[in-house]
Amino acid sequence: MPFFTVGFWYNRKQTQAEIVIDQTLLPGCEKYVGNVKITIVEEQSEYVHHKRIEAQRHKWEFPCHSKVRKKRRNRQKLHESDEAYANQISGPGMGLNDTPVYWVKIDPECGWLRHIVMYQPDFNWMEQLLSDSKCIRSRVHAARALALFPLSHEKAHVMACRVLTECMHGLTTHSRRLRAEAAIALGLWQSIHAQETNTDNTSNEWKGMQNLVRIFKDHFFDRNADMPLPNYFLPSGGKVVLESVGADEESTTNRDIQIQDYAEGEYEIKKAIPKALAVVRSLTGFSPPDIEIFLLQLLTQNDNSKNYVEMADESSVAEDCFYLGSLIMALSLLVLEKRGGNKETSKEILRLLHFDDVSPSYNYTITVCCLEALCNLQLAGRLHDNIVP
C-alpha cells in the first residue's frame, strides 16, 4: 500500500495554490505509478484536477479563480478567555482564512488503496470541518487533524479547541459520527497541549478538558442540582434546539429528519465525551484527578428509569448498556498519579457486574465491559485486594 505525504500552501505572490506530494517507499512495497484526483475548493466552486504520479516527489501549481478575501483577524491566545476574545466566530474558517482556497482534498473518493498524511493550515481544516457538506469522511479527517494544532513552531493559541467545541454542540452539523469524532479529537488536543502538572485544572491550559465537561453538563445535567438528568434517548429531545436555530422554516419532513439526527447525535456525544476524557493526560502522563471524580459521579448517579421507548407506554424502558459501558471503560483507562486510585471505582464496577448477572443487559454488554475494566484496574494497580469477595 503506497504511503504519501501531501503539503498544501497558498502562494500569495503568485496567487496560486501549491501542492507537494512525496511518496515514501516502505520495505517490500513498489513505487506507485498512476493518476490522482485533486480537488481544490474555492469560494465560487470546486475545481478538480487530474495529475499523474510517476516520481517519488511532485510539486504542482494551480491557478486560483477567486479573489483574496478580507484581512484575517488574530487567533485567540492561550491566556484569553472566550469572553475576552472580542472577535466572535465569523464563518466556518473562524475569520482566519484570507486566501481564496477553502481546503484541498487528495483522492476524495478513495479510488485506490493508499495512506495519505495531509498538511495544510489550520484555517483550511476549520473550513473543511464545518463546511464540507458532501463528504462526512472528509470532515472526520479534518477533526482529527485539528487535534495537532497549534504545531510546535507556532505560537500558542486555542482556535482548534474552539472550533472542535463548536462542532460538538451540533448546531452547525447534525452528524452523530462527526460530533463524536470532534469530542475524541478535543481530548487528544488537550493531551498534546497539556501542561506538566495536573494540580490546577482551572487554568486556561486545560481549556479542552473544561469544554468537554461543560458541554456534557449543558446537555445532560440539572443545573440547579448539579446532577445528571435521567437518560432520555428519544428523538424528540432535539426539537427545542433545532427550532431555536431556525429549522422551523424548512419542510416538516426535513425537520423531522434533522430532529432524529440531532437526537442520535446527543446519544453519541453522551457516549463519546467519557471516552475523550479518558485520553486526557498531562505531560507527566497522568490523568487529572478531577476526571475520575466526574466520571464516577456519572456512573453512580446514572438514572435509566424514565428512558421510555414510547412516552405513551411507561412499561418499556430502553437499554443504556452502551452508555454505561463507555463510562466503565473510561474509568478503567485512567492513569492516576495516586497509587490505588479511588476505592469507589472498583466497588461500582463490581456492583454493576453482579447486577448484570441478575438482570442481563443486551448481549451481556455490561458484563464484558466490567470484566475488561477489572483487568485494566488490576494491571494499573488500582484494584484493591479487599474489594473482590
113-150 per-position pLDDT tens digit: 889 999 999 999 999 998 888 888 999 999 999 999 99
Residue 275, pLDDT score:
98
Number of neighbours of residue 352 by Cβ within 10 angstroms: 23
DSSP reduced 3-state for 36: strand
Q: Kindly report the pTM of this predicted structure.
A: 0.87
Q: Are strands 313-317 and 308-310 parallel, antiparallel or unpaired?
A: antiparallel
Fold of domain 1-65+100-119: Immunoglobulin-like (2.60.40)
Helix, strand, coil content of the chain in percent (nearest 5): 40, 15, 40
Residue 82, pLDDT score:
61
Could you give the angle at which helices 252-278 and 289-300 cross, rounded to 10 degrees? 130
What residues contact residue 358 under an 8 Å CB cut-off, 6+ apart?
none
Residue 101, pLDDT score:
93
Q: Are 299 and 327 in contact (CB under 8 A)?
A: yes
The DSSP 8-state label assigned to residue 99 in this structure reads: S
Domain residues of the chain, as ranges?
A: 1-65+100-119, 66-99+121-379
Number of neighbours of residue 142 by Cβ within 10 angstroms: 30
Q: Which three cell numbers stand for residue 79?
A: 491566556
Residue 243, pLDDT score:
40
What residues contact residue 182 under an 8 Å CB cut-off, 6+ apart?
129, 143, 164, 165, 167, 168
Give every residue of the chain whose pLDDT is below 70, as ranges: 69-75, 77-94, 171-174, 198-199, 234-262, 311-312, 387-389
Across the chain, mean pLDDT equals 85
